[in-house]
Chains A and B, each alone.
Chain A
Amino acid sequence: MKNTVLKVEDLHVSFKTQTGKITAVRGVNFELKKGETLAIVGESGSGKSVTAKSIMRLLPKSTTEITKGDILYDDKSLLKLSNKQITDIRGSEISMVFQDPMTSLNPTMKVGKQIMEGLQRHQSMSKAQARERALEMLKLVGIPKAEMRLDNYPHQFSGGMRQRVVIALALACNPKVLIADEPTTALDVTIQAQILDLMKDLQKKTDTAIILITHDLGVVANMADRVAVMYGGKIVEQGTLDEIFYNPQHPYTLGLLQSMPKMNEDRSQPLLPIAGSPPNLATLGEGCAFAARCPHAMKVCHTYTPRDTVVGNDHHTAACWLQDPRASKTETEEVLVVN
C-alpha cells in the first residue's frame, strides 16, 4: 500500500543576501502519510517556513536556491517540474494556509471571487459552478449567511472569519496536502481553538494530510499525529506525538517542553527557559547547531555534526551525540532523569 504522499529528502535551501549566502535549511528529511498531521515545531528562524514554502516552490527565485535534496509528491519530484506543472499542483493537490489572515487575502477582491479563482483555474468550472462550490465551502467552514458573504470584501470579516475564508480557499479543490504555516498565531486564543477544531473536523471529512507549522506546543498537542522538531535549519528530533512529548531524546526538545507551562503541575516550579539565543545561520559551521546553548554539550558536539539516530522504535529519531554509545552513560541518564 502506498501510504506516503509527500517526502522531503535532504533538503538544503540557501538565501543570497548582501553579506553572502545563508543556508536556512540544511538537510531536512521527513515523510508525510495520507491523512495524517505532521507538526513542524521550532523557534522563528529555524527554517520551518522556508521548508514549507520550498514544497510549494513559492520562494522567490531571485534570492533563494534549493542547493541540494529533493521533494517528492506522489513519487514525482516537485523540484523538477516546469512552472506550468507546478502551478497545476499548487492549490489543487497541495494547498497552503498562511499565518496572518489580515494580509493573506486580496483587500480589493470579493472573497467569493478569490475562492472561485482557484476553482476555475483547476477544475475548469463555469462561473456559476465555481460560485456554487465557493458557497458550499464557506458554509463548510462555518461562515454564517454565506450566500451574502460571498460578495463581501475581506475587511468586512473579523480575523477568525478571514482565516476560515483562507481555509475554505485552500481546501476548495480538495487538495491531498494542506500546509498550514502558523495558522492560528495571529488569532485570539478562543478563536485559535475554533480554527484548530475546524481543521481537524475538515481533515476527517476530506482525508487531507496536514503539515502544521507552529512554534506553539499547545497547538501541536491538540492537532499532531507526528512531530518534527526543527533547530538551526535541521530536524533535530522526529517521532510520534507521544514519543516527543513523553520521551524526548534531544536536549532541545526537552528544553522546549520544559519552557512550556503545564496545567496540572506544581505552579511554584519556575518555567525553565532555554538559555542563549537562536543560532546565527550565517556563521553556523560544523558541529551541532544547538551545542552553544546545550547544557549537556560535549566536546564532540562543537566539532562534528550529529547524525540522525533511531531511538527506541523505528519512527523516533534524534540527531544528538548523546545517543552515541560512546557518550558517557551518566550524561544520557542525566537527560532522561530530568525528563
Chain B
Amino acid sequence: MKEFDAKLPVHRDIQTQNDYIPDDIPSDLFVKAPLDQKKSEEISTPSMSFWQEAFQRLTKNKGAMISLVLLLLLIVMALIGPSMNEFTYREQNLAHSNMPPKVAGLEWMGFDGIDANGVNQYAERDVATNYWFGTDEFGRDLWTRVWKGTQISLFIALVAAALDLVIGVIYGGISSFYGGRVDNVMQRIIEVLMGIPNLIVIILFILVLEPGIRSIILAMIITGWVGMARVVRGQVLQLKGQEFVLASRTLGASNGRLIWKHLMPNVMGPVIVTVMFTIPTAIFFEAFLSFIGLGLQAPLASLGVLIEDGYKSMRYFPYKLIYPALVISIIMICFNLLADGLRDALDPKMKK
C-alpha cells in the first residue's frame, strides 16, 4: 500500500514507469486540441487493388521470382537456341556421330570433348567444329535438338493447357451458373470421368490416333479439362452463395455484369493457378509417352524423345541423357514453384 498524498488528492503516481516525464510539463500544453477526425481517417494505408496486392506478394516470393526468370530464360533459349549455330535439328552427319560435348573455354567444366573412355574424339576424328552438347548417333547436333525439343515440349504443354482452360471454363461455368438439373447431369459425367486413370486414356487414344504433336495434345485434353471444370464450378458455386453477389443482384445487376464484374475476377485466381499446374503435368505426360515409345517420331525432337534416346545409350554416352534431363527437370521445378507462389499470392487460403 502506498501512502496517501494529502497535498494532491486527485493526482498521484502509482507507477514508476513514466518517471522520465518531467512533472513540470508546461501548463500551456493543457489546451484543448482534438485532431480533426476526417483527417485522421485519411491517414491510413493506401488502398491497393486485389491484383496489385497479389503481385506484391508474388514479388516477395524468392522461389517464384527465380523460377519466373529461369523460365523466361528457357523460353528464350527454346526460341533462339536452335538457330544459334549452323546445324539443324534433323541434319545428319554420320562422320560426326556420338561426338562428346565441347565448348571452347569451358573445358574445365567437362565440355572438353573427351568421351567416357578418356579419348578426345575431336582430336581422334579430326573434327574442327565444336558441338556444345555433343551429337547423337546420327551426328545430329544435340544443342540444337535439346532447344528444339524444349520448344516442342513447351508448345505441346501450352496448347494443351490453353485448350483445357477453354473447355474447363465453359463446362464448369455452364454447370455452375445454370445449376439444377443441368448441373446435376454435367456433374455425373465428370464423376465418371474422374474415375478413369487419365494416363490409360491418353495411351489408348495415342494408340488409335496418328502419332504426332496434334494427337498428343488431343489425347491430353480428352481428360485434362475435367480438373479445370471442377475448379471453376466449385469457385462459382461458392461465390454465388456469397453476400456480395446477392447484394449486387438485389441492386439489379444483369447476369452479364454479374459474370464479368463479380464472378470473373474472383474465379480468375484459382483458374490461373490451375493452368500453371496443368503445364508441368502436360510436359510430364508428353515426356512419358515419348519414353514408352508413343511420342513423336524421328527426326522430330521433344524432351521426352531426347531422354529416351539418351537413356538407351547412357552407359557409354551419358551426356545424351543429362542435358535433356536437366532441362526438363528445371522446367518442371520452376513451373511448380511459380504455381505454388501464384497460389499463395492469389489466394492465401487455397493452400494445399
List of A residues within 8 angstroms of B37 by Cβ: 275-276, 293
* A295 on interface, CB distance cutoff 8 Å: yes
Asked if A217 is at the interface of the complex by the 8 Å CB criterion, the answer is: no
A272 close to chain B: CB less than 8 A = no
Q: How many angstroms from the CA of A325 to the CA of B12 in the assembled complex?
A: 11
Give CA–CA (A301, B29) in the complex, Å. 8
Bound-complex Cα distance A45 to B337 (A): 35
Q: Contact string, B323-343, partner A, CB cutoff 8 A, digits 1/0?
A: 000000000000000000000
Asked if B35 and A323 sit within 8 Å, CB to CB, the answer is no
Q: Tell me if B15 is interfacial: C-beta within 8 Å of chain A.
A: yes
Complex contact B35–A324 (CB within 8 A): no
Which of B17-25, B125-133, B171-179 binds A?
Answer: B17-25
- Least CB distance from B27 to A in Å reads 5
Instruction: Report the separation of the CA atoms of residues A276 and B42 in the bound assembly, to the nearest whole angstrom.
Output: 10
- Mark the stretch among A123-131, A195-203, A306-314 that contacts chain B: A306-314
Check if B10 sits within 8 Å of A297, measured CB to CB: no
Least Cβ–Cβ distance between A331 and chain B, in angstroms = 6
The interface size of chain A toward B, counting residues with CB under 8 Å, comes to 36
Residue A152 lies at the interface, judged by CB distance under 8 Å to chain B: no
Indicate which residue in B10, B18, B44 contacts A307 across the interface (CB closer than 8 Å): B18
Bound-state CA distance A294–B35 (Å) is 8
Residue from B14, B18, B35 within 8 A of A310 (CB atoms) = B14
Does B6 lie at the interface of the complex (its beta carbon under 8 Å from any beta carbon of A)? Answer: no
A296 and B40 in contact, given A309-B12, A323-B11 (Cβ under 8 angstroms): no
Contact B32 A324 (CB under 8 A): no
Total number of B residues with any Cβ neighbor in A under 8 Å: 24
Closest residue of chain A to B18, judged by CB? A307
- B30 A326 Cβ-Cβ under 8 A: yes
> In the bound complex, do residue B18 and residue A305 qualify as a contact, i.e. CB atoms below 8 Å apart?
yes
Contact B14 A331 (CB under 8 A): no
Closest chain B residue to A324, Cβ basis: B11
Bound state CA distance, A52 and B10, in angstroms? 31
- Hey, which chain B residues are within 8 Å of A291, CB to CB? 35
A311: B residues at CB distance < 8 A: 10
B86 sits at the interface (CB 8 A)? no
Contact with A along B284-318 (1 / 0, CB 8 A): 00000000000000000000000000000000000
A64 to B156, CA, bound (A): 50
B40 close to A293 (CB less than 8 A): yes
- Which of B10, B41, B44 makes the CB contact (< 8 A) with A325? B10
Q: Looking at the complex, which one of B14, B29, B40, B41 makes contact with A299 (CB distance below 8 Å)?
A: B29
A246 interface contact, C-beta 8 A? no
Question: For residue B14, which residues in chain A have a CB less than 8 angstroms away from its CB?
Answer: 307-310, 317
- The yes or no answer to A65 lying at the interface (CB within 8 A) is no
Q: How far is the CA of A326 from the CA of B33 in the complex (A)?
A: 15
If A276-B37, A276-B40, A293-B37 touch, whether A299 touches B10 (CB-CB below 8 Å) is no
Task: Report how far A312 CA is from B11 CA in the complex, Å.
Answer: 10
Q: For the complex, is B13 an interface residue (Cβ under 8 Å from A)?
A: yes
List of B residues within 8 angstroms of A309 by Cβ: 10-14
A328 CB-CB contact with B under 8 Å = yes
A327 within 8 A of B: yes
Kindly supply a per-residue 1/0 record for chain A positions 35-69, scoring 1 wherever the CB is within 8 Å of any chain B CB and 0 otherwise.
00000000000000000000000000000000000
> By the criterion CB–CB under 8 Å, are B11 and A321 in contact?
no
Cβ A328 vs Cβ B30 within 8 A: yes
State the majority secondary structure of interface residues on B.
Answer: loop
A324-B30, A326-B30, A331-B32 as given contacts; A300 in contact with B13, CB under 8 Å: no
Complex: how many Å from CA A307 to CA B12? Answer: 9
State whether A10 and B25 are in contact (beta carbons under 8 Å apart), knowing that A321-B30, A324-B30 are contacts in the complex: no
Q: Counting CB contacts under 8 A, is B208 at the interface?
A: no
Closest B residue to A301 by beta carbon equals B33
Contact of A327 among B30, B34, B41 (CB under 8 A): B30
Closest to A300 in B: B29
Residues of B with C-beta under 8 A to A268: none
Say if the beta carbon of B200 comes within 8 Å of chain A: no
**What chain B residues lie within 8 Å of A310 (beta carbons)?**
10, 12, 14
Q: How far is the CB of B45 from chain A (nearest CB, A)?
A: 9
A276-B40, A300-B25 as given contacts; A307 in contact with B33, CB under 8 Å: no
> Residues of A contacting B18 with CB < 8 Å?
305, 307
Contact B40 A298 (CB under 8 A): no
A29 in the interface, Cβ–Cβ < 8 Å?
yes
- Bound-state CA distance A327–B14 (Å) is 19
* Distance (whole angstroms) from the CB of A298 to the closest CB of chain B: 5
Min distance, Cβ B226 to any Cβ of chain A, angstroms: 31
Collect the chain B residues with CB atoms within 8 Å of residue A10's CB.
Answer: 15, 17
- B251 close to chain A: CB less than 8 A: no
Q: Mark A251-269, 1 if CB is under 8 A from B, else 0.
A: 0000000000000000000
Quick one: which of B15-68 are within 8 Å of A by CB? 15, 17-18, 21, 25, 27-35, 37, 40-41, 44
Q: Which of B13, B32, B41 contacts A276 (CB 8 A)?
A: B41
A-side contacts of B8, CB under 8 Å: 325
Q: How near does chain B come to A234, taking the closest CB pair, in angstroms? A: 11
A298 to B25, CA, bound (A): 13
Q: Does A77 contact B (CB under 8 A)?
A: no
List, sorted by A's number, 13 A–B pairs whose CB atoms are closer than 8 Å: A276-B40, A292-B35, A292-B40, A297-B34, A298-B29, A299-B28, A299-B29, A303-B29, A307-B15, A308-B15, A325-B8, A328-B31, A331-B30
By a beta-carbon cutoff of 8 Å, the part of chain A in contact with chain B is: 10, 27, 29, 275-277, 291-305, 307-312, 317, 321, 323-328, 331
A-B contact sample (18 more), CB < 8 A, given A291-B35, A297-B34, A311-B10: A27-B15, A27-B17, A29-B15, A277-B44, A292-B35, A297-B33, A297-B35, A299-B30, A300-B29, A302-B33, A304-B21, A304-B25, A307-B14, A307-B15, A308-B15, A309-B12, A309-B13, A310-B10
